[in-house]
Structure 1
Amino acid sequence: MRAQAVAAGFDLAGVAPAHSAGEPAGALTAERFAAWVEAGRAGEMEYLKRRDEAGELLRTSVQVAIPWARSVLVCAMSYNAAAPRSVEPAPATAGWIARYAWSGTPDGAPMDYHDDMLARLRVVEAALLGKTGCETRCYVDTGPILERDLAAKAGIGWIGKNTCVLNQQLGSWLLLGVIATSLPAFEGELALAPDRCGSCTRCIDACPTDALIAPRQMDASLCIAYLTIEKKGMIAEELRAKVGRQVFGCDICQDVCPWNRRSPVAVKQGLMTRTELVNPDLEQLASLDAAEFKLWFKGSPLERTKRHRLHRNVAIAMGNSGDRRFAARLERWSASEDAVLAEAARWALTRLAILTEESNLAEESKDRL
């Protein structure tokens, strides 16, 4: 099936066994995931905490949610683009949207990678069914499956210290899709990738919120991607300054990874980079009304976060910019009927005042020298 996966537009494919939590090979994954949830590191992501009728977490093993599954075909697709990284210099007025959300059609329309990848998976699934007649089920981030764990077991790459799947040739800019099957995984198919992170800790050191609490361990409730996409309501005040200019997701731990320096630019038929989403202007994002938000983002990953949450994130980024030109917008938002946006705007105004004062003091000190 690897050949069919590549023909469908995937860069990598591999097969992982669907071990149950009761098997030695699956027990460690099950224990670690259960402990992670129990420690509260899933934040408000309730879908990660779903259990079956017996009270077992669905994601502890593939067979909890899909009892007939015996193997999983994992398909990976690179989404690296020929564009700047979030850690490179950018205008103070620019926000950051995670790289994976830049995709669009050749005519510039928004596109959600879930839809594109699912269509590609269906092609692979059809070829598989034509040969075997087995049971199958396709998922792209929608099923009760730990895709990264399975990707590592399928030989796609190793789990890096930033908890992303890392491939020696493609880096970590990988989107994952899976096909659960009733076919057994033959031992001859399995080939684990060696861990090549070595002593490097750049991702851990670079994380602004210290979400990477240890190598390969993340507290998702502190992750900027979680805070700007999944987190509803107010972002904790002590984390807002650390969010920086991120308005949707975060690429920092991947941008600093040495393996991503070598990652080739992905070229996929039917997929283009929407350049207007690279270092987007904060004021332009702030000015989007409901109709304009729909035009820009309907059918893209940003649709999920909704306009009111995006504007909450934009307000925080404006405060962190130190640019007083945003004060007028923030003043208007501070009187908004949306209590979360109003509170974020008030915080941002205070943050702007602090950064302005610090800048003035620095200039005075420079002048005295």
Structure 2
Amino acid sequence: MQGLKQRLVQEALEAGFIACRICRPDAVPEVAGRLQEFLAAGYHGQMAWMSERTQWRGNPVALWPDARSVVMLAESYTPTHDPLEILKQPDRGAISVYAQGRDYHDVVKKRLKRLARWLIAAASDDDPQVKVFVDTAPVPEKALGQAAGLGWQGKHTNLLSRDWGNWAFLGAVFTTLELPPDPPESDNCGSCRACLDICPTDAFPAPYKLDARRCISYLTIEHKGPVPQELRAKMGNRIYGCDDCLAVCPWNKFAVSARDMRLSARPELRAPALANLARLDDRAFRALFSGSPIKRIGRDRFVRNVLYAIGNSGDPALRATAAGLTEDPDETVAEAACWAVAQLTAQ
């Protein structure tokens, strides 16, 4: 199987992935305990799905008992610009780098399926079975990525590597083939605290621990209803996700450029005007974010985020824009608009 593994790695690199490593499905026994600790602390907030199917989420073996190997892959989405520069433009919306291009679920999953088909053909004598996953099933991709040697989970809880930093999507191919595993990666964060110290909302109660309830990515994407008032000002102009902890990681000096142009930022999403975004109705929202992961949260939650950013902008010219939404049919949007007007009136 060593020869097949070498060919698989080469095929993955030629397909556009920046790294390919292998581990056993039972290589992450610590995940179940960490998951239970996370849930017991309530750090998952409104993400009820995290407390469901924990027998799978905490144990990849239970997800598919027939699997003998997990092929972990990384695909770069390294930005070509400084993602923190947008924070200096308060009348513009800051969208997380990963969401400025095509939905990565579609891009990466198609590439994984092609690689899986290649693996089936290459090992046809063994009649292999495969299943592919990209962040849409209860698979602990980051833990498996560390076990396979792709990188390690840093203090910001994301996977990072000495070879390509932390701007990467992860994908997994589970297979019934017995492929030689790679050694796990060790922690190389050292005494660095850059990711912890930059967090605007103090979402890290300790290194390697994340309280999602305070994370801006969670607040702008997963959290339904009004965001707690004490956190709104800390969100700044971040309207979908947050890149702060990723952007300051010193290992990004080794970042690898994204190879798929579909993951590159669309010009209209690099620094969109808050005034224009606030005026989006449902149809315009769907048209603007067609093929984007942003479409998933819907117009109302997105405009809610935009109104928080308007309230934080300090720009009196945006007061009228917010005032025009104080009677929006969605109660959360209307409340956010009233808050924004109050913030700008108090300037």
TM over 0.5: yes
SS at match of 1:180: strand
Mapped to 2, the partners of 1:91 and 1:251 lie a distance apart of: 15
Residue in 2 that maps onto 1:231: 223
Contact 2:28 2:143 in 1 (8 A): no
**Match of residue 29 from structure 1:** 31
Give the equivalent residue in structure 2 for 1:346: 338
- Say which SS state the counterpart of residue 308 (structure 1) adopts: helix
Contact 1:77 1:176 in 2 (8 A): yes
Shift of 1:219: 1.0
Equivalent residue, structure 2, for 1:38:
40
Considering only aligned residues, what root-mean-square deviation do their CA atoms show, in Å? 1.6
The verdict on how the C-alpha distance between 1:257 and 1:26 changes in structure 2, with shifts beyond 3 A counting, is closer
Match of residue 169, structure 1, among 163, 166, 174: 163
CA offset digits 1:11-51 (Å, max 9, x no partner): 111112101xxxxx543221111121122111111222112
Match of 2:84 in 1: 86
* Structure 1 residue 265, shift from structure 2 partner: 2.8
Take 1:102 and 1:164, find their aligned partners in 2: how far apart are those partners?
A: 19
Partner of 1:313: 305
Alignment of 1:348-367 (within 5 A): 348-354=340-346, 356=347
Contact 2:145 2:151 in 1 (8 A): yes
8 Å CA contact 1:138–1:177 kept in 2: the answer is yes
1:145-192 CA-to-partner distances (Å, cap 9, x unmatched) read 011011111111111111111111211001011111122353xx3222
Q: Secondary structure at the match of 1:10?
A: coil
Determine what percentage of the aligned residue pairs are the same residue.
38
Q: Which moved more, 1:275-284 or 1:315-324?
A: 275-284
Alignment-mate amino acid for residue 139 of structure 2: I
- Mapped to 2, the partners of 1:310 and 1:217 lie a distance apart of 27
Tell me the residue number matched to 1:128: 119
After superposition, residues 173-192 of structure 1 pair within 5 angstroms as: 173-186=167-180, 189-192=181-184
User: What whole-Å deviation, never above 9, does each CA across 1:286-330 have from its counterpart, x for those lacking one?
Assistant: 122222212211221111111111100000000111111111011
- Work out whether residues 36 and 42 of structure 1, in 8 Å CA contact, stay in contact via their aligned partners in 2: yes
Q: Deviations over 1:175-211 (max 9, x none)?
A: 011111122353xx32223322111101111111111
TM-score of the superposed pair, with normalisation by structure 2: 0.92
> In structure 2, what is the equivalent of residue 259 of structure 1?
251
- 2:17 maps to 1:10: yes
Which residue does the alignment assign to 1:97?
A: 95
TM-score under structure 1 normalisation?
A: 0.87
Q: Secondary structure at the match of 1:177?
A: strand
Cα distance per residue 1:259-303 (max 9 Å; x no partner): 224424323255442122112211121122222212211221111
SS class of match (2:188)? coil
Matched-pair contact (CA < 8 Å) for 1:73–1:178: yes
1:165 is aligned with what amino acid? L
In 1, distance between residues paired with 2:259 and 2:28?
36
Q: Note the residue ranges of structure 2 that are not aligned, 5 or more in a row.
A: 1-7
Counterpart CA distance in 2 for 1:247 and 1:290 is: 17
CA distance in 2, matches of 1:243, 1:68: 45
Give the aligned residue type for 1:170.
W
1:34 touches 1:57 (CA, 8 Å); kept in 2?
no
Counterpart selection for 1:152 from 146, 153, 161: 146
Q: Does the 8 Å contact 1:285/1:314 carry over to 2? A: yes
Instruction: Indicate how the Cα distance of structure 1 residues 49 and 191 shifts in structure 2: closer, same or farther if over 3 A, else same.
Output: same
Q: Which amino acid aligns with 2:45?
A: G
Q: Residue 173 of structure 2: SS of its match in structure 1?
A: strand
In structure 1, stretches of 5+ residues that fail to align are 20-24, 104-110, 357-369
